[in-house]
Copies of this chain bind each other. A is one copy, B any other.
């Protein structure tokens, strides 16, 4: 059994050079929202969910991105409704939110 049943990492990287980065899309606020909602819903703690910040997850062009482990499921999101759906469908229901899913396959190498 995993220490956290769902360990969620929000990229909250902020680039200063003008290139696209997740925090320009409100990632820190998104993470704070999900963390707070999970607390309210009793989903947080060991054996349950942990909602973390992370540095650049290196998928900037698809951002804002979030990854859920141990499943290794990658999502993007736009608004609070998307985040609620990840909480309700994935973290509570255990089902992947297909419409927000990013390809989890490694990028092809040349």
Contacts and interface: CB of A to CB of B under 8 A. Distances in A.
A93 interface: no
- Chain A interface helix/strand/loop/mixed: loop
Given A7-B69, A70-B71, A72-B70, A55 B57 contact: no
A3 B104 CA distance: 5
Interface residues of A, number: 31
A7 to B, nearest CB: 7
B2 A104 contact: yes
Contacts of A55: 52-54
Contacts of A2: 72, 104, 106
A29 interface: no
